[in-house]
Structure 1
C-alpha cells in the first residue's frame, strides 16, 4: 500500500465514506458532505445534505445511482441533486408508537435490498425493513428482535436473499427473507462490522477478536475460512473492514483477494490471500475450525497516534493512456481505497498487486 493523497475537509470526524465517479460522499456530524476530487489531487466541497436535526449520522448507503439514505436516530432519504431531504422516516420505540413517541436510540447501520426496500439495525436490538414506496406514515413492513444486545452492523446477501446482522452479544443472525427463517451463529466476540463478498457470498466480520471470514453455508465454527490479525497495539477492532475491488483485467488464476481495515491507532491494514490458498488445507487455530491465520499484513500509518482511521471504500480506476505500459519500473495498478479519519481527513491509498 502507498499513500497517494490526504485531503482536509471541514474538520468533523468522518463516520462513513462512499465514492461515485470523481465525487466523494462523507457523513460528518449531522450532515452528508459531497466533495469533488480534482485532477490536481485536491478535494473541494460541492454540496451539504441535511435533515438529521443535530443528530450524528452513523452510516450512509446508496439506494441507486442518485438516491442515498443516511441514518442517525432517524432515516433520511436524499437525492444528490437536492440539498433538502426527499423524506424522513422516524422509527417508533418498537413497531411505531401510536402516541407519537419516537426513539432516541441510534440507528447503527443501514443496507439496501433493492431500490425500493431498505433495512436498518439499531441499539434497541431491532432489525426493521421499510418499503420506500409507502406514501403515508412509514411503518416497517417487517420487524425482528432476536438479539440480546445492541446490533452494530447489517448487510444484505443478495446471492442467498438473506439479511445478516450482528452486534454486542457476539451472535451472527441470518434472516432468510423469502423462506421466513432465522439462523443463529454464536461467535466468541462482539461483532462491529459486517461485509459480504459479491463474488461468492462469503462474510467478513470485524470483531474484538480479529477479522474473520466465514462460509455460512457450513456454519460459524467449521465455516471459518480465515482469521486476520492486526497490530497487537490496535486491539479494539471497532472500525470497518472491507473486501477490496479486484482489477477486472486480472486473469482468474492470478487474482488475489485483499481485505482492508482501518485502525484506531492511525494505521490502516491490508491482507492478501490468493484464491488458490483459500481452498488449500488450513492449520487448526481453534476447536472445531479449519481456518488459516493470515499474518502477512501490510501496515500503513496515515494519521497521528490515537487518531482513528475508520470507514473505508475500495474501488478500481481506469488506467491512463500514459501509464499503459509494462516497464519494470512502473507499478501499473489502478486499485485504490479511500479512508476517512477522526480528524475529518480523507486519505487515498494505492493498493499494489
Structure 2
C-alpha cells in the first residue's frame, strides 16, 4: 500500500481568525503583533504579504514596508481554541494526526479510499468540511512523504490543493525550484551559488560525499536527499500521548534575542492552551534549535514544581535558550514542547503550599472557556516581552 500523507496548513491563520471575528478587517493589510520597538510580526494577511511583510519580521520594518497596515494584538487563547476545532475535524478523517504547530498538521491518509475517495477527492472534502464548520480556509498538500506534502501545501496557497503522485517527486522538486525548496533559505542558496549550484538539477549532479565535503555532514546529507525529493526526516513522529510541541522555521535566519523571546512567548501560550484543551498536564519542557548548517541541538528541563501556566513554560524556555544559544548566532528553526504528559487538571504531586502559578492556570482556563463561548477576552500578563 502506497503511503498517502496530507499536510494541512491553515491560511494566514491568526489574521484569518481576526477577519472572521471582525468582518470590517476583510481586504485590509492586517498585521498581528505588538506596537513597541521590540515587537515582531506574528503573522500577516496576504494583502500585507504583497508588501514583503512576513512572520518574525521586526514590526518597525514591517510598518516601513506597509505603513498603512492595521496592527492587531495577538489573541493566543482564541487562536488555540480555533486550532482545536480544526484538529477535531482532521481527526474525523484520520486516526493518525500529527500536529506540528498551532496551524499545521500531517494526516496519514493511507488506505482511506473507501471512506473518503481518491486522495484529491478526500482533500476537497476535508477543505469543504473545515470551511463549513469554522469559516476558515486551509491549503492541503498531498504526497507520498511528509516532506513532499509539506511543500505541496505551499505550492498553491491560499485555499490550495496540490497532489504529488508517487514517482513524481523529482519532477515536483524541479517545478518548485531550488529557491523554494523547503529548508533551503537565503544563506544556503548563497553557499550553493558559490559552487555554481542554482537549480535542483545541478544539485542532483553532486554525490552525497561531495555535498558533505562542501557543506558539512548535516547540510550535505539534507541537500542530497531533498534535491531528489526524498524525505530527509525533518518531521519525525513523536508520541502523541506523551508530548505537545510546536516549531517555527524562520523565513530568514534569526540572530536577535528579541525575535526569539517573542517567538517563545507565543509558543508557550500555544502549547499551554493546547494542553488545557486536551486536559493534559506535563512534567518536562524541551527546547529545540536548528542552525543554518542543519545541525540540531536540544535541551530539556523537568522542574521540581508543577507546571501550571504558560508563563512558567516561557520562564524555563528562556533559561534553556540562554544555555544553548549565543546572541548573534543565526538560527533557522526553534521548537518548544511539553513532554511527559498525563491526563487531568490536577498535578500528580500536590504542593504543600499554594502555588501562585496555579491561579494563573485557572485564569487561562476561564479565558479559554470564554473564547469557546465566542466572547472576546485577552489574558493579561506581566511578562516584559509582551507589548502594552
Same fold by TM-score greater than 0.5: no
Higher helix share: 2
Higher strand share: 1
User: What TM-score, normalized by structure 1, do the two folds share?
Assistant: 0.29
